[in-house]
Amino acid sequence: MGGFSPASAAQRCAVGIHTSPSSPVSRSRSRRQQQPAPPVRRRRLAAPLAVSRRSLLVPRAVAASTDRASPEAVGRFNLESNSELQVTVNAAPQGAIAEINFEATNTSGSLVLHWGALRPDRGEWLLPSRRPDGTTTFKNQALRTPFVKSGDNSTLRVEIDDPAVQAIEFLLFDEARNKWFKNNGQNFLIQLPTSRNQGQGASGATVVPEDLVQIQSYLRWERNGKQSYTSDQEKVEYEAARAELTDELNRGVPLEKLRARLTKTPESSERDAPAAKTTATKELEKRVSKHEKKKKYSVERIQRKNRDITQLLNKIKPGVTKEQVQAAPKQPTVLDLFTKSLQEGDDCDVLSRKLFKIGDKEILAIATKALGKTRVHLATNDVEPLILHWALAKKAGEWEAPPLSIAPSGSTLLDKACETSFVESELDGLQYQVVEIELDDDGYKGMPFVLRHGETWIKNNDSDFYLDFKTKVTKKAKDTGDAGKGTAKAFLERIADLEEDAQRSFMHRFNIAADLVDQARDAGLLGIVGLFVWIRFMSTRQLIWNKNYNVKPREISKAQDRFTDDLENMYKSYPQYREILRMILSAVGRGGEGDVGQRIRDEILVIQRNNDCKGGMMEEWHQKLHNNTSPDDVVICQAIIDYIKSDFDISVYWDTLNKNGINKERLLSYDRAIHSEPKFRSDQKEGLLRDLGNYMRSLKAVHSGADLESAIATCMGYKSEGEGFMVGVQINPVKGLSSGFPELLQFVLDHVEDKSAEPLLEGLLEARVELRPLLIESSERLKDLIFLDIALDSTFRTAVERSYEELNDAAPEKIMYFIGLVLENLALSTDDNEDILYCLKGWNQAMEMVKQKDDQWALYAKACLDRTRLALASKGEQYYNMMQPSAEYLGSLLNVDEWAVDIFTEEIIRGGSAATLSALLNRFDPVLRNVAHLGSWQVISPVEVTGYVVVVDKLLSVQNKSYDKPTILMAKSVKGEEEIPDGVVGVITPDMPDVLSHVSVRARNCKVLFATCFDPNTLSELQGHEGKVFSFKTTSADVTYREITESELMQSSSANAQAGEAIASLSLVKKKFLGKYAISAEDFTDEMVGAKSRNIAYLKGKVPSWVGIPTSVAIPFGTFEKVLSDDTNKEVAQNIQMLKGRLAQDDFSALGEMRKTVLDLTAPTQLVTELKEKMLSSGMPWPGDESDQRWEQAWMAIKKVWASKWNERAYFSTRKVKLDHDYLSMSVLVQEIVNADYAFVIHTTNPSSGDSSEIYAEVVKGLGETLVGAYPGRAMSFVCKKDDLDSPKVLGYPSKPIGLFIKRSIIFRSDSNGEDLEGYAGAGLYDSVPMDEEDQVVLDYTTDALITDSGFRSSILSSIARAGHAIEELYGSPQDVEGVVKDGKIYVVQTRPQM
């Protein structure tokens, strides 16, 4: 809903001359009736969008004070410094023909009136039938009438015979100069005398001018208390205003008097005081402005279409395609083999390497040092006879003949050079030619050379070839064993070989890039990433842009076009690479269509000529532009504009340059250096701002991939005429855009700098969503659409960052709305966006809960926030793993600054929507925690401890370490499966492992403080105290801490006596094979199986009937050892014995090899027979009945359970408690999988508070592996009092993004004799393996009844709590229970004593 918006009323509140939206074409009324708008009618542009925007930079006429000396005189306007326009109107009697006379002084003979008439009953221009001679129609939207040249002046007379016409609207156009003249950027509007059409329309009915209706409606709105109107109310109010004025006219009130009253403007008899009009206008504008500021939003809003968010779903994941996996590896060239042969030599140090192209052949130059001797090797795949004409150089540009002693045999010494014939050679059947030269002096800096074939000289693009001995571009990376791991290594080395040629100019670089596109594609995802890294290094000025090479701007734009066309084609054919290809395109720029690149060269000359600025800095810049234009020119142009706008404050010029990475040294480094600072006269200001503004569009069209205005103009179409020697440009509109799309983009452009960003953000998103189908369908001119989408995305991020201040005191709903907008924008920029879309759906549901005043909204929104953070972290990790290795390897090859390499991926993330979203989440997190009463801490293991603060990145990286003094770890990452290291008494983390995860249970078991801290400021403070001694005290919901002295630590050491120390040594009884490979549940004894199996057998028939217990059989203790001793597994047994020996020597790499070796076991026939019999007799399906392959799957799962005995975590955990690992035996519990809707874990005594009257449980969607395994995110958690099992209380909603689901299958559960020892929580250390792989499903909680249906949620959670309570009563002690829910029924799959 919106109140009256009187902007257009303010535009038309004056008598005589009125302005309207600037465009050299007609106008029509807005049809956006559904939007909250004032009770007025507006006209909108019917012009092509780009024309409207570009007209903002067209030379403008300046209105002078209106001369009212004669009653017929309407106005006099300055056109240029020595030219003006005077307009007079003949005050004809009512019904007669009105005459409008125009006279323009000191003009050319090519002046044209571009015009139309206005009637109150029509919104668009009327094209009168009575027209002056020579008038033509322009696109059926306007008339064009030439002026008649008379001496230095031009005149024209227009006659209007339609009494309903109230005004004419026009612009002037100088055809010879391609120049428009406007009235302060707006159309001229001439009101016709009221005497000829007062109150009468064409049919004789009373007609009220629309501008007066607008003002009257505004005044009515003020009188009515400035209410907010619906769309229907607006129409009623508007027509009521018209009726009031019509009534006054019908009562005989003259129209002129009515106008004077409404606008507070003197009547015609008093019009010799033109300032009165200005004062009245300003007063009305002031009232309008004051009203606008009071509105909730200062601009109108676009009406977003209602869409199903999942329509934006894109499941394409970047990766290696099947075709690429099957493709044969690319065969190395003979020069690749030659390089390899050198590098494999003893102690060969590659000093430098250069690859030069000679037509379709190549020549490779390498300098090496081996055994103290420097050698130069030149090899070519050109088999034609060649002579090397060469010399040595001790400084740049020098040619010095080598000593005869080092000239190869058969060489000829010349005055300043030597000639040596290439020698034919062969590698792996491939022919090549080579010359090798051994130097005797380390003082040489390089080797210049050219080639000769007969009498034909071969050069390096008109220059000498040159090998610099001191570059060392390859050794650092290539000689390192792991260098290039995780990259398209050969492709990156190819880029490095071509870099020196690329440095000559942007033309060379983009042409080389185009040549490399197919090779990048063939290398798969990492090839595309490698290409991006190279282009990104270029765009961030880490590579040389130009070196001693002059190139025309149109040649650069042509090369850009070629490269971006190739990227466009790949975008169409390889959707899995689109996200990276967008990044490449945004770093390159569009390039020039229609020879727009040449305009860079031409227009700077026009600017210098028109504005009398041919010397100094402008001439130096002109020379640079002609020599080699670059993206720096966009910055330089903006710096000059900012300098002029600041009234020539030179510090503003340097500030703009420096903020964009350009300093004085860089200006001086150009081939055509810029030494001078800009210096202009005040009379040059207006012309320079106008012309440089126009010029900026040409620069951005070539160099900027994310410039909104140029991207819109390119898609909507525009035409720039040539002037003099300049070329012209005509860009046609892109086909297939929706009918309302131009208006939507106009809205974006009109509001791109509004302080209140919300309407702009909505418009930008709506535009991106409208554009999306065309981007997916590989439309015509796809490249232009991609650049438009990139520009919309970039503008969105800028607008969000600008609105941070607006959100400082905003209500939670508004912050949530902003987060939703940013999530949607991120989803539109992401290839695989399913998780992000479901995060967005979650936010939308949370906002709906706020509107419904649901008291759970903050708790649910906190889960949405946590999940969104996980999605961002996952995205950041994906980018890092994908890009950083390529950045490091290519950076080392190209000698890129180390700091630029180190922050490469970080800068990519920081520049995207993910960083913007992260900042918003950080702002909102404390708000949510406060509303949900969550506090800054979640205490998982409440223990009072003292110790030294140590900061680590990952708990996993130190889990096997032993600390020799009490240590409190500040671990930035905790996944949930880690062990607590020896000596650690506390772990503080921002991560959120489940309260019932392995690490949480282990912390409570070992009496270690374990807590999540949600406040980044608190975390930062504690991390800043690394090395200091702190004391921590806890409650179930909070943590307090203080720094203490080491003496206090000694005094409190007794308090830490149990915390973090290894549990007293435990002993295991070695289990023997008792003759059975498989047993049924009635045979489950402690000699045969572990506690997991025995407890399941015990529960059968004892729990309430509504609790299901799955049927089970087991593979007993000793079976693994029996299988290993079988003759068929003799070799496996020998390998395992050898690996055990390595483990005894603390060679922990043997653990992984041990697990692999176990998988080589062969199943004895007796095992297969007995297991089949027990499974079938128990009612379970036998996998082998389906196929032999199904049995092999089952057998592999069994072996994986046995192999998990040698998991790192399990192995080190048993070492910590001094368990004899050889005595650890593994039985396997076999159960049919319940295809669960939900899985749960119950602790029948609240583990955080120790409250035995309260059950604590966690629930996940799908199988329980996401709960007990190291899957990110939190489960749903709840507590339930044992005396009120019908009233569960939700503590937290789920944030896990992934659920695991499986068809009917068998699971093989680990059940060792070391899992449930007294005082030792061994549960979860070993693996349970399903026969079939689970399906990973990205979860949409907005469709999950457990989240959305409070009745269903209460029923399920109560049933889970009741099952836990019943099992606790059965055993008489606290229990740790695992189970699932299927179709509302509870199944318990295992229970053990709660640790």
Q: Cite the active site residues.
A: 998
For β-strands 148-150 and 423-427, DSSP reports them as: unpaired
Separation of alpha carbons 436 and 388, rounded Å: 11
Per-residue 3-state assignment (H helix, E strand, C coil) for 625-676: HHHHCCCHHHHHHHHHHHHHHCCCCHHHHHHHHHHCCCCHHHHHHCCCCCCC
Tokens of 460: 């390096």
**Which parts of 318-372 are beta strand (E)?**
349-358, 361-370
Q: Is 720 helix (H, G, I), strand (E, B) or coil?
A: strand
Give the residue from 1005, 1078, 854 showing the smallest Cα distance to 1320.
1005
Cα–Cα dist 630/699, whole Å = 9
Look up residue 1216 and give its two tokens.
Answer: 């910590």
On the 0-12 / 13-18 / 19+ scale of CB atoms within 10 A, 719 is middle
How far is residue 971's CA from residue 955's CA, in Å, rounded to a whole number? 6
Core vs surface per residue 45-69: b (16+ CB within 10 A) or e: bbbbbbbbbbbebbbbbebeebebe
Which token pair is 1345? 């009844």
627, two tokens = 């020599």
Sign of the torsion formed by the C-alpha atoms of 1040, 1046, 1047 and 1052 = positive
1226, β-bridge pairs: 1312
C-alpha dihedral sign at 1079, 1084, 1090, 1093: positive
315, β-bridge pairs: 832
Q: Could you give the CA distance from residue 42 to residue 342 in angstroms, rounded to a whole number?
A: 77
Backbone dihedral angles phi then psi of residue 838, each to the nearest 5 degrees:
-70, -30
What is the phi-psi region of residue 21: left when phi exceeds 0, alpha when psi lies from -120 to 50, beta otherwise?
Answer: beta
Got the DSSP string for 906-920? HHHHHTSHHHHHHHH
Q: Which two tokens stand for residue 966?
A: 């009490």
Nearest to 242 by CA among 268, 225, 262, 228: 262
List helix spans (H) across 102-230.
210-223
DSSP-derived secondary structure for 197-263? TTT--TTS-----HHHHHHHHHHHHHHTTS--B-HHHHHHHHHHHHHHHHHHHHTT--HHHHHHHHH
Separation CA 42–CA 780 (nearest Å): 34
HSE-CB at 773 with a 13 A cutoff on CA atoms is 6
How far is CA 1025 from each of CA 249, 939, 948, 1029, 1161, rounded to the nearest angstrom? Answer: 82, 21, 9, 8, 52
Strands 1009-1013 and 982-989: parallel
The amino acid sitting at 839 is: C
Q: Which tokens in the block code for residue 330?
A: 């690319």
d(CA 974, CA 256): 79
User: Could you give the CA distance from residue 227 to residue 841 in angstroms, rounded to a whole number?
Assistant: 34
Query: Residue 27: phi, psi to the nearest 5?
Result: -120, 155
Q: Are 158 and 113 in contact (CB under 8 A)?
A: yes
